[in-house]
């Protein structure tokens, strides 16, 4: 059984850890509030832009845009979005595990690593890494997202890759983060409405990997021309989606950190209670032993 000094030291150590985890929870909660506001503000614009690009591309003719080019998938680029720090439960582990599944299932695959945890993990392995971004979550900006999107788009346009996928944690709520795997490139055009079908036919169009129905396809009048408009809109769309993904991952990371630190603080409190109980029992046993020795000595002197 540990001595009283050992138990006191352990109680003091666990209390110090509890203070750290409580402070980390408060910091994560404060950062989560700002990150949550940013992602909730960015999502409607990103979804509306996705719908507009899908409708535009379905009516742009044969030469729409290089980023809409559907071809046989032989070489894949996978964007892996993790956090810069740990202490967030299974946040980083889930993303890395999903990325390793794709690496095992795809013969020709390169990686773009966003976040220090993913970069440190795959650097120690024989993975083919195209680029790494390890300080982007210190301050997520649209400019940084646009730079990543531009590099990915140029590589796809040069036919270096036939498809670009991204795996990340999507922010759902404070206690829920959804592991998401979606295609970033090529963009999917909305299914055009049949002649005379109008809104009823257009409403059957589906977009995204999950095939969720969109609103009715819209007829556009292009001025000056559809390719010129798409040359402006499509790159902006890719940058917007990358920015949304980064904001999603950042908010999910703070939520996971807050949840993990709250659980750690609670567990530390329970451990302190058990250690105090053991300490009191040991102290009581030591006092009882001393009393028995004193009484036994007194009885011996009387005898």
Q: pLDDT tens per residue, the chain (303 residues)? A: 678 888 888 899 999 999 999 999 999 999 898 898 999 999 898 888 888 887 777 766 555 678 888 888 889 999 999 998 888 888 899 999 999 999 998 888 999 999 999 899 998 888 889 999 988 888 888 999 999 999 999 999 889 999 999 999 999 888 888 999 999 988 875 544 443 333 333 333 333 444 444 445 566 677 777 777 777 888 888 999 999 999 999 999 999 999 999 999 999 999 999 988 988 888 888 888 888 888 888 888 886
Q: What is the pLDDT of residues 207-254, one digit of tens each?
A: 344 444 444 556 667 777 777 777 788 888 899 999 999 999 999 999
Task: Give yes or no for a contact between 254 and 31, defined as CB atoms under 8 angstroms apart.
Answer: yes
Report the pLDDT value the prediction gives residue 220, as an integer from 0 to 100: 67
Query: d(Cα 69, Cα 163) in Å, to the nearest integer?
Result: 10
Where do the structural domains in the chain lie, given as residue ranges? Answer: 22-188+218-259
107 φ, ψ (degrees, to nearest 5): -70, -40
What are the beta bridge partners of residue 289?
A: none
Beta bridge partners of 264: none
User: Which tokens in the block code for residue 130?
Assistant: 């195209």
pLDDT confidence of residue 205: 37
Q: Which of 212, 211, 191 is nearest to 202 (CA)?
A: 191
Give the sign of the dihedral formed by CA 53, CA 213, CA 176, CA 81: negative
Handedness of CA 221, 227, 230, 232 (dihedral sign): negative
pLDDT at 193: 43
The long-range contacts involving 11-19, CB below 8 angstroms and separated by at least 24 positions, are 11/272, 11/275, 11/276, 11/279, 14/268, 14/271, 14/272, 14/275, 15/268, 15/272, 17/264, 17/268, 18/265, 18/268, 18/269, 18/272
Q: Which two tokens stand for residue 72?
A: 């046989």
What gap in Å lies between CA 288 and CA 223, rounded to an integer? Answer: 95
Q: Coil, strand, or helix at residue 183?
A: strand
Is residue 125 packed enough to be buried (19+ CB in 10 Å), middle (13-18) or exposed (0-12)? exposed
Q: What is the pLDDT of residue 291?
A: 85
The tokens for 112 are 């773009």
Instruction: Indicate the fold that domain 22-188+218-259 takes in CATH.
Output: Pyruvate Kinase; Chain: A, domain 1 (3.40.1380)
Q: Which residues contact 112 (CB under 8 A, 6 or more apart)?
A: 77, 78, 79, 80, 129, 130, 131, 132, 133, 148, 152
Antiparallel, parallel or unpaired: β 212-213 and 129-133 = unpaired
8 Å CB contact between 70 and 163:
no
Give the DSSP H or E segment for 229.
helix 226-302
Query: How is residue 75 annotated by DSSP?
Result: S
The pLDDT score that the predictor gives to residue 216 is: 53
Residues in the chain: 303
* Alpha-carbon span 191 to 202, nearest angstrom: 7
pLDDT of residue 138: 84
Determine the pLDDT at residue 5.
86
Cis peptide before 173 (omega within 30 of 0): no
pLDDT digits (tens, 9 = 90+) for 146-172: 999 999 999 998 899 999 999 999 998
Q: Three-state SS for 278?
A: helix
Beta strands 206-207; 129-133: pairing state:
unpaired
């Amino acid at each position: 059984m540990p001595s009283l000094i050992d138990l006191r030291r352990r109680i003091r150590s666990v209390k110090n850890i509890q203070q750290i985890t409580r402070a980390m929870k408060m910091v994560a909660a404060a950062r989560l509030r700002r990150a949550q506001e940013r992602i909730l503000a960015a999502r409607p614009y990103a979804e509306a832009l996705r719908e507009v690009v899908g409708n535009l591309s379905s009516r742009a003719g044969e030469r729409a845009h290089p980023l809409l080019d559907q071809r046989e998938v032989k070489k894949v680029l996978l964007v892996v979005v993790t956090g810069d720090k740990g202490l967030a439960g299974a946040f980083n582990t889930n993303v890395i595990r999903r990325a390793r599944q794709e690496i095992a299932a795809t013969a020709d695959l390169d990686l773009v690593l966003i976040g220090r945890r993913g970069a440190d993990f795959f650097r120690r392995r024989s993975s083919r890494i195209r680029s790494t971004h390890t300080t982007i979550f210190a301050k997520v900006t649209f400019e940084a997202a646009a730079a990543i999107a531009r590099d990915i788009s140029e590589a796809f346009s040069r036919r270096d890759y036939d498809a670009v996928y991204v795996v990340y944690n999507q922010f759902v709520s404070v206690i829920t983060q959804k592991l998401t795997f979606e295609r970033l490139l090529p963009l999917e055009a909305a299914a055009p409405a049949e002649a005379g079908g109008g809104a009823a036919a257009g409403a059957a169009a589906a977009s995204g990997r999950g095939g969720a129905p969109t609103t009715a396809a819209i007829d556009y009048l292009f001025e000056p021309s559809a390719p010129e408009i798409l040359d402006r809109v499509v790159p902006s769309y890719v940058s917007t989606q990358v920015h949304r993904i980064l904001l999603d991952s950042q908010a999910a990371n703070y939520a996971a950190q807050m949840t993990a630190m709250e659980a750690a603080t609670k567990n530390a409190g329970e451990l302190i209670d058990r250690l105090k109980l053991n300490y009191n029992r040991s102290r009581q046993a030591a006092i009882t032993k001393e009393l028995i020795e004193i009484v036994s000595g007194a009885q011996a002197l009387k005898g």
